[in-house]
Amino acid sequence: MFDNKRLLSETFLVTGEVDKVSKVNYDTIKSHILSHHKKENYLSDNPVFYKKDHFKVGHHQHIQWVSDYIRDMFNLEYKKHLLTLNKNYEDNVSAIVLQPNHSLITHNHINPYDYDYSPDVSCYLNLTEDKNLPKLVFEYDDHRKKELRLIQKLFKNKFILFSSSLNHYTMRNETDKDIILLCLKYSF
């Protein structure tokens, strides 16, 4: 007879959308993000560092509503205590504008030199509508099974919440539009 089984770690991916009865206006969020899409707002100018694709966006009420909704619904559904990463808004919220014929390089959101301020959970919210949106690819290992991939489609105004330690990238943007993603980060 077995005494006790303990889960030592968990890697996850959850998809969803903010309830349609909310007052969130996605076009307002998109406009706000695009107003901050300037070279000086990018988190890095290093061409081989993933933060070269992320840029700072200032506080906006609709972004806060989205972040709060995702956090609260996750906590309710999964009996967890997800928190905003830290008090510095710029660490919690960023955006990506993926231009035509570009892709995101493989990366995760863990800073190996600063675990205390690395997120546990990350989220992408897609704000672009198109039939041929690039897919997000998540790389992971499952014990002996190595180099596994999960391909996740992007849908307008839907979010993907995932373990921040998951390596991921986007396939090439084959549309003629910029793909706009809001990135949110949380901790337990």
Instruction: List the domain boundaries for the chain.
Output: 24-187
3-state class of 148 per DSSP?
Answer: strand
- pLDDT of 116 reads 85
**Residues 69-75: contacts with CB under 8 Å, at least 24 apart:** 69/18, 69/19, 69/22, 69/24, 70/16, 70/18, 70/123, 70/159, 70/161, 70/184, 71/186, 73/16, 74/14, 74/121, 74/161
Instruction: Give CA–CA dist 164/120, Å, rounded.
Output: 5
Q: What is the mean pLDDT of each run of 10 residues along the chain (188 residues)?
A: 88 95 95 96 88 92 95 93 78 93 94 89 95 95 94 96 97 96 95
- pLDDT of 51 reads 86
3-state class of 180 per DSSP?
Answer: strand
Angle at alpha carbon of residue 93, lines to 92 and 97, rounded to 5°: 145
- pLDDT of 60 reads 95
Instruction: Give CA–CA dist 129/92, Å, rounded.
Output: 25
Instruction: Give CA–CA dist 65/169, Å, rounded.
Output: 26
CATH placement of domain 24-187: 2.60.120.620
- pLDDT of 16 reads 96
List alpha helices for 13-116, DSSP H. Answer: 26-35, 61-78, 89-92
- pLDDT of 117 reads 85
Instruction: Work out the angle between the directed axes of helices 26-35 and 61-78 (0-180°, nearest 10).
Output: 120
